[in-house]
Structure 1
């Protein structure tokens, strides 16, 4: 399942305030948190045998499948010593993070399990918002390496991967075929060439070429990172140091800036998040669209909600100078909070939710990306979602966003500079110089 991030401008101040709390909590060191634990011991004093009712906190479920509540009902029926209740948060990732942090800080005992975005692991672990499950209690040996790595901090599994994700290019098979294109584009240049011919031929004022997610929120960080990586650049290098003020990054961000200027990306997309783009694609207003795997199920609905059902397919993200393009790694994990009570029930719950059977059922219901690697070759799933082999490749070649303790500050710095460039307020080179300077201050 995908948890869509919808931004509200008033959030910037709140996120900045949370960063102050984060800095105070970790003392600016970014060192290994205390805790740990074993099956017979405790993590930060945790009692892993304690049973009782708990709450599971996550963002809004946009899958429209009902799978989550149905599965929790099944768990509750089998688990009389402790029931799980879903506490649904807003669909904005930044607001989800802020509310989770605030409720740990006030020691809310009910919030026992939280859905942790892959980019929050370091921050949540370093500040002891979540605790590592007992060593050996979770078998990740057959799970996607990228998903497990994203849930690991200082070589310890602090969260339990629930879904992974990689960016995909959704494209209109009917339009490509109509205008003589036998394959989807592998580069941005090819995509523009195909768009120019299709849009000129269709003469539809509502039809646009391409869009991703460009509002000032986490989705912008994802899309900008993908553009820079797909031009051979990086935001933060393998050595952990910012290195975004480069010709490659200029080419990547500059391509998005240029496409906004000439209308290849519609001007209105500057306010788009995942759901805005999904709705536009489903309404037949885009030839190409960058989004996550959850869109596949919804865009293929035959209930009248999608005009493109049966008329699209997916491909790897196109590259700018690197082919194929490079996705940012997405996905979520279950985090067991340090302040939540009844950690025995919490552990039982996350183990139940991540069984092979439930991962497959979730994938069938929501077209989400499971963490059990063998499911990408499961006949039932591949039949239902022919895009699964492409999605697996996207995940396997994806790059993580910066793995830093103060990620909230880092992503805001990326968004601030990028958004100004996309709006045409500052040149691309100035935006990257500004970003480099801010990141050097934040990442020590």
Structure 2
């Protein structure tokens, strides 16, 4: 660890403190002080982030980092960060933001523009890095990333003589073969995240993208009046109507779906990488340990696309110690630190080198599939008023899933609402 830390800090030592402004944000450099800083971030149950921060603190006695844990849910995290920004508080120096918030926080000048040359950006996976920009300028640095994968029961597919599906039609056909087995009695076919929350926005965007469409274009204009958007929503709605998606999945968030698969209730399940370790547990908590695999999400006519997940690190505009804040972000997202981080936790890292590491590939057998999914993943709608946009998506998609409104009506309503939101950004 000492060698990795030394290398990371050597790279950081090359950083100077002068920087010009750009875009819509105030010029960086006006608050380029140094000293102790506060890092507002997510709770780390593995203890890895506190360990890495302790390593930084040992090497920087005059620039100590104090961790402040944000609330557990994304809504609470955003609310707390927004409150700090709206009061122009300097309580936080480095903040952790969800990737979809990047545009909003940059446009509202709550985070500062960052000089790309200080962060070895060529080493990051392209998709997370692209989502870290706003109007062509870099405003945050990818810390964790993520993409959805399809978990499936290897034992049951083998018993039925089936292979993992690449298309939605294949998924339905494989399910029919597997569910005919005596061993599959009482099981259901597939579930993702279908409750009325952020996960539904993710699953809807994946369905539309996997049919060849997009929820919004690169300028934030809605594109839901297309055959692809119709096909994407139909996949979800018809899944509930036909029973391919079980009725109780209307209440599924990540953990409800994970438990359903882990307890042997599903043949296929869409979720993130973090559940792999939980389902591999050999302490009796998982009924599918050693009986499942992962593949990329299926699509309408071939492999589908995931919605990009993850968290970024940004410097608060109101920090008075932005030079230290930038150096700390450079350290925490360096390849050496990320490699150490990956050894201590299963959070998906953002640098390509991590996915080629043979030690980590052996520890996390899903890395190859995850990298493939991340590289083809797409960001959520990039709108300044993202909170309003995701609420509108959830309203329309949830109502359609419950068969309360026809697919065409749901999409037409959503097209109009997103157009208003985009114009008001």
Change in Cα spacing, 1:259 to 1:384, as seen in structure 2 (3 Å) is same
User: 2: CA distance between counterparts of 1:303 and 1:81?
Assistant: 45
User: 2: CA distance between counterparts of 1:265 and 1:233?
Assistant: 22
SS in 2 for 1:443: helix
Shift of 1:215: 1.6
User: 2: CA distance between counterparts of 1:335 and 1:309?
Assistant: 38
Alignment partner, residue 167 of structure 1: 148
Shift of 1:89: 2.6
Match 2:24 to one of 4, 28, 33: 33
For structure 1, which runs of at least 5 residues remain unmatched after alignment? 1-30
Shift of 1:184: 0.5
Shift of 1:83: 2.8
SS in 1 for 2:121: coil
Shift of 1:78: 2.4
SS in 1 for 2:123: coil
Decide whether the 8 Å contact of 2:189 with 2:267 is kept in 1: yes
Alignment partner, residue 68 of structure 2: 87
Question: What is the TM-score of this pair, normalised by structure 1?
Answer: 0.85
User: 1: CA distance between counterparts of 2:185 and 2:27?
Assistant: 58
Match 1:302 to one of 282, 285, 299: 282
Alignment partner, residue 109 of structure 1: 90
Q: How many residue pairs were aligned? A: 402
Alignment partner, residue 52 of structure 1: 36
User: 2: CA distance between counterparts of 1:363 and 1:140?
Assistant: 19
Alignment partner, residue 307 of structure 2: 328
User: 2: CA distance between counterparts of 1:218 and 1:59?
Assistant: 17
Decide whether the 8 Å contact of 1:59 with 1:92 is kept in 2: no
Decide whether the 8 Å contact of 1:59 with 1:93 is kept in 2: no
Q: Deviations over 1:243-289 (max 9, x none)?
A: 20222211111111111122221222222222222222222222111
CA-based RMSD: 2.0
User: 2: CA distance between counterparts of 1:271 and 1:126?
Assistant: 34
User: 2: CA distance between counterparts of 1:282 and 1:86?
Assistant: 34
User: 2: CA distance between counterparts of 1:202 and 1:342?
Assistant: 64
Shift of 1:240: 4.1
Change in Cα spacing, 1:341 to 1:270, as seen in structure 2 (3 Å) is farther
Question: What is the TM-score of this pair, normalised by structure 2?
Answer: 0.89
Segment of structure 1 superposing worse, 156-165 or 278-287 = 278-287
Segment of structure 1 superposing worse, 261-270 or 149-158 = 261-270
Change in Cα spacing, 1:239 to 1:154, as seen in structure 2 (3 Å) is closer
User: 2: CA distance between counterparts of 1:352 and 1:222?
Assistant: 30
Decide whether the 8 Å contact of 1:294 with 1:366 is kept in 2: no
User: 2: CA distance between counterparts of 1:303 and 1:365?
Assistant: 20
Alignment partner, residue 244 of structure 2: 264
Segment of structure 1 superposing worse, 408-417 or 71-80 = 71-80
